[in-house]
Structure 1
């Protein structure tokens, strides 16, 4: 009898684990734009607004000033916290550095890159020249990117710090939710 109970417990645990997926096909939903921890030296200037278009659709608009060219010398450092299962932010859940951000987006995130280039009016593509750009009514939701067919699910708060060489340029903060899709 004890063996049967243990077997049922193991099978139940396996079933519960299989039913709760931690990552997979996804949709990313931008929840809000936030200030980075250190905004005093932020040379990137932007004002961003989220607007509700319908019950299920939000868009964002922004005026964004890029003080330097984003070229092969540019770097982005991404630090993200994840919302814990019992509430509260778990700090430093993810850290990643990307060199030549524009080229990486063009190669690894072509769908998102094309949409952003069009919305920002950066018709020349990479490198992105310094200047002021305007985005109107960009969707807050986007789906699977070819290079990243799966992402971990959850709510994330990220700071994306931009550098030109070793020179700090500025930071953009965002809170997103990665949701499971069928």
Structure 2
């Protein structure tokens, strides 16, 4: 009797053109889309050997470009280590450091791997002479890289939703801090704005 009622309801909904409501689960993690909010140096880059002087520029209401310059006084290669420290935005404001931490040697190769297909967009946008590691010393200028073209990466395909501040810190094999940059972004459910 119940199954007959379900079949009748489905038939009525299908013939009248009324669609049942779409279900959007409110889970704490899952597939996501990125919304970039800011890029800036961690601190003054004056003494850094790897200087990241970049920022986001608003192209239109919903479009942003990455602009600025990278100045390398030493090669960006696999002798450098990288630490990515993600702080999550608290429910009452403020940042909670060390929400996710990733530290690894071989910074150039790991960045290339993590960026995935976006690595070519990044390298081309900053006018590097080569897409392979190591990146030679010099000044590289980006006049506008569309950040929407930098979302095809090898970062995990599912993640915890929320607002994050990612600090990328680069250190030499001797422990010297070479450079640091911050990326602020929202990790949103696929249907959120």
SS at match of 1:92: strand
**8 Å contact 2:164–2:186 — kept in the other structure?**
yes
Higher relative contact order (CA 8 A, sep 6+): 1
Relative to the length of structure 1, the TM-score reads: 0.78
2-structure distance, mates of 1:152, 1:130: 37
1-structure distance, mates of 2:114, 2:179: 23
Q: How does 1:74-89 map to 2 (within 5 A)?
A: 74-89=80-95
Aligned to 2:169: 161
**Cα distance, 1:144 vs. partner?**
4.6
**Cα distance, 1:169 vs. partner?**
0.6
Question: Structure 1: any 5+ residue segments left out of the alignment?
Answer: 1-17
Cα 1:149–1:86 shift into 2, 3 Å: same
Question: Structure 2: any 5+ residue segments left out of the alignment?
Answer: 1-23
Rg bigger for which structure? 2
1-structure distance, mates of 2:44, 2:27: 35
Relative to the length of structure 2, the TM-score reads: 0.74
2-structure distance, mates of 1:42, 1:107: 24
2:137 to 115, 130, 133: 130
Matched pairs, number: 165
1:150 to 138, 158, 183: 158
Aligned-pair RMSD on alpha carbons? 2.4
